[in-house]
């Protein structure tokens, strides 16, 4: 399925069949992207134009380069955040702190009744 990817600051959109690039660009990066059917005339015309100008492979490589650069940028940002803030917060079970408090209160009441 062809995907149209609008890379910020690049006037002409890119076309790819790679769903990884589409998902990252649309969901993770927030770039404008479109999913088109296989028989889409716009995609077919764009690919014919790119091939006539001998830029089909070059444009596919450019899109992949933009995609990989953005992945690297976001990955390095997350590493900097982890370094600045120590370990990333860990999700705890719901009410785990309340459970430990209840257990401690229960233990105190048992000890008070024995004395």
Q: Tell me the per-residue pLDDT of 32-44, one tens digit each, with 9 for 90 and over.
A: 999 988 888 888 8
Asked if 7 and 66 touch (Cβ cutoff 8 Å), the reply is yes
Give the C-alpha separation, 24 to 68, whole Å: 10
What are the distances in angstroms from CA 93 to CA 79, 104, 107?
26, 18, 22
Domain ranges of the chain: 3-89
Q: 38-91, pLDDT tens digit by residue?
A: 888 888 888 888 888 888 888 899 999 999 999 988 888 877 766 666 655 566
Spatial neighbors of 19 by CB under 8 A, at least 6 apart, are 1, 3
């Amino acid at each position: 399925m062809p995907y149209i990817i609008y890379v910020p600051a690049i006037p002409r959109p890119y076309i790819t069949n790679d769903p990884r690039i589409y998902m990252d660009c649309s969901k993770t990066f927030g770039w404008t992207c479109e999913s088109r059917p296989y028989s889409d005339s716009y995609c077919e015309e764009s690919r014919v134009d790119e091939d006539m100008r001998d830029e089909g492979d070059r444009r596919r490589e450019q899109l992949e380069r933009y995609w990989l650069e953005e992945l690297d940028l976001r990955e390095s940002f997350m590493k900097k955040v982890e370094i600045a803030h120590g370990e990333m917060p860990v999700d705890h079970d719901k009410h785990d702190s309340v459970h430990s408090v209840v257990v401690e209160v229960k233990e105190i009441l048992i000890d008070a009744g024995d004395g």
